[in-house]
A = this chain, B = another copy of it.
Amino acid sequence: MSDVNEKMAALGKVRSVIRDIFEYGNARRREIGAENVYDFSLGNPSVPAPREVDDAVCDLLENTDSVALHGYTSAVGDEGVRRAVADDINRRFSAGVTKDDIYMTCGAAASLTVTLGAVVNEGDEVVVIAPFFPEYRVFAEKAGATVVVVPADTDSFQVDLDALSRAVTPRTKAVIINTPNNPTGVVIKRERLEGLCALLRSREEEYGKTIFLISDEPYRELVYDDGIEVPYVTNLYDDTVVCYSFSKSLSLPGERIGYIVVPQKVKDSREVYAAVCGAGRALGYVCAPSTMQRVVARCLGKTSDISVYKTNRDLLYESLTSYGYECVYPDGAFYLFVKSPDESAAAFCERAKKYELLLVPSESFGCPGYVRISYCVSTDMIKRSLPSFKALIEEYK
């Protein structure tokens, strides 16, 4: 009998690939100066929170009773906050949700672990679509599920519906989608999303069971071109659970604040919502941080200055493709997913280090042969890095 839980110890010991690169970057910054290292490894927002965030905090501290502000809220979240969130969703997406469908969480990761904890029974399958955020596997397996990966459609990085059709079985409890996507930046087009929903609906009917569509939406607000639509998934598929986070839209990743939506049209919606409450309780989430709940309620509809990300994307996408890199056009999030000119993305990333370029190889995203480039960095750093990107690909010509 082991003295600890070996699985958890292993998880805690394996530093993620991204973290390793970040540590390498720290060492390199000390050696040659931060201005000479081009670190594209992290998905940490680089623009400050909008002014309204700090203003809201100060105003709340000044004008709210301390015991009420810092005290427990209801486990599902403050009622006024939930009403504001529901109103915002309805205003923007006509989704017809109510405050009683909202469960405030400690950020996107909590939204996912609580939702998976609520719906998964030991042995269920959870389908993820490559390339995908690596923690999906950790969260789904912790909830007792087996993860089934739909291979990437590397032409468009839209979802390959034939491959999805093969992945969904009578044991499928949920499918996770993430649009705009980490690591590709791709937004799933409405038509494709409708196809995905039709497929799930027909399987629900065929199997006589609910298949939840879990929509992980930390990047929902981060799209850069006019006319790019990110459809609200609950409007397309009844058994959708939305997992939202304010981390990226308001540049608050450390504050841990987000929410889950369980619309009433979900089958046995109140049972699902109760299971969300139960999973949140059992995982130790007593309530989402109380001040931040009120802050985000006051900042609904606001975002950080995401025009910086658009500038960065345009500059990087245009420059890299002009040098000969292959890359799917990213409509949102703050990542480029670039085809490795080397067969081995890891070898390519090693070679990039010679030029002080820190890139993330794509293996852990379930789609080998690519690198993720996070452009949530200063535009100036991107400009300075361009000669390095150019010289790097020249090596492969």
Interface, chain A (partner B; CB < 8 A): 1-13, 44-49, 53-54, 57-58, 61, 65-67, 69-73, 106-107, 109-114, 117-121, 124, 135, 138-139, 141-142, 209-210, 251-256, 267-268, 271-292
Contact = CB atoms under 8 A, between A and B. Distances in A.
Majority secondary structure, A binding face: helix
B253 A72 contact: yes
A251 B290 CA distance: 12
A302 to B, nearest CB: 14
B72 A49 contact: no
Nearest to A13: B274
A124 to B, nearest CB: 8
B284 A2 contact: no
B256 A10 contact: no
A265 B45 CA distance: 39
Contact of A48 (B44, B53, B67, B288): B67
A394 B352 CA distance: 83
A283 B5 contact: no
Contact of A2 (B61, B114, B121, B251): B121
Given A1-B124, A12-B276, 15 more contacts: A3-B272, A4-B268, A5-B118, A8-B278, A8-B282, A12-B281, A47-B67, A58-B58, A58-B61, A69-B254, A71-B251, A255-B290, A256-B289, A283-B284, A289-B292
A71 B267 contact: no
A109 B284 contact: yes
A71 B250 CA distance: 11
Contacts of A289: 106, 254-256, 289, 292
Nearest to A124: B1
Contact of A70 (B49, B112, B287, B288): B49
Given A142-B283, A278-B8, A70 B3 contact: no
A112 to B, nearest CB: 6
20 contacts: A1-B209, A3-B271, A4-B272, A5-B279, A8-B282, A12-B273, A13-B277, A45-B67, A48-B66, A70-B254, A70-B255, A73-B254, A109-B284, A109-B285, A111-B284, A114-B284, A141-B282, A254-B290, A256-B290, A289-B289
Contacts of A44: 67, 71-72
